[in-house]
Amino acid sequence: MNTLIVIVGTTAIGKTALSIKLAQHFSSEIISCDSRQFFKEMTIGTAVPDQDELAAATHHFIQNRSIFDDYNVGSFEKDALKKLNELFENNSIQIMVGGSGLYVDAVVNGLDFFPDVDPQIRENLTEQLNSEGIEVLQQQLLNLDPETYNTIAKDNPHRVIRALEICIGTGKTYSSFKNKPKTPRNFNVIKVGLNAERSIIYERINKRVDIMVKNGLLEEAKNLYPHKQLNALQTVGYRELFEYFDGNCTLEKAIEEIKKNTRRFAKRQLTWFRKDENIKWFNYDEKIETIINSIKKEL
């Protein structure tokens, strides 16, 4: 039976390094499901694997799209399943890695079906976000769909706008379309999670942000600033620097906000993945042999 080994965990925990070691051991390729790393214009701020890492194992869905493309989790589900079917023809074991829980679930379990709605609704909501701020949209979601309001990442504009456009476009709650029967997958799944004490995770995040700044994050964000309204750029590491470019804070404050918001993002990632009882957790510095032996017992 074909098997997909899924590596999950918080940002900066070491998922990329582990996935490469596993890909080399099993002679597999790697499906990336980090929704921020799809976009070729966003390199530094999304911690895309470096050239040595990309050369160490074949990666898919790394910088394969543009921020100007309309690409979402539904598109990724279709593309990833198609690629997996191709890869399984050569090797019955493949690797998927990423911290985007929704994108992991899309491939492993399938997405809930949501009807198409008028794209003008999303445009209107995005304009409202830019002019009035996310708090207004959050309140609107609370009024229309309290269940979704209480379960999604409310400070993520993508999620709030997505839920609102369904509510407005269908006249039904976003939550009413969830948890319907899904199409079964034709592969087994082994899930491996990397974790560490919170203080270590936060230390690694702070260090990573400092390295990003040193490597040119400010210049990258400056080049993207004219397009700051695009959905792909409504994300940690860029939003905060756009605030700096707008004159709303100092550079030092913007960098501190990137660190703080990345730590919050990591906390949400952990909350998401801890709900999954099928994940076998390992410490971030666990020996690779231990993880490989654990996987082999499940194959």
Asked if residue 11 belongs to a known ligand binding site, the reply is yes
The C-alpha angle with vertex 217 and arms to 216 and 221, in degrees rounded to 5, equals 125
* 259 known member of a binding site: no
Is 12 labeled as ligand-binding? yes
- 190 appears as a binding residue in the annotation: no
User: CA 105, CA 103: separation in Å to the nearest integer?
Assistant: 5
| CA-based radius of gyration for the chain | 19
Q: Annotated binding residue at 13?
A: yes
Annotated ligand binding at 9? The verdict is: yes
Select from 111, 99, 76, 87 the least CA-distant residue to 4.
87
Sheet of strand 93-97, all strands in order from the earlier edge strand to the far edge: 59-60, 30-32, 93-97, 3-9, 188-195, 279-283
14 annotated to a ligand binding site = yes
Q: For the chain, what's the residue count? A: 299
Q: In whole angstroms, what is the distance from residue 10 CA to residue 193 CA?
A: 9
State the CB neighbour count (10 A cutoff) for residue 95. 27
- Half-sphere exposure of residue 105, counting CA atoms within 13 Å on the CB side? 13
15 appears as a binding residue in the annotation: yes
Do residues 23 and 59 touch, judged by C-beta distance below 8 A?
no
Binding residues, as ranges, are 9-16
Binding residues for substrate, as ranges, are 11-16
Binding residues for ATP, as ranges, are 9-16
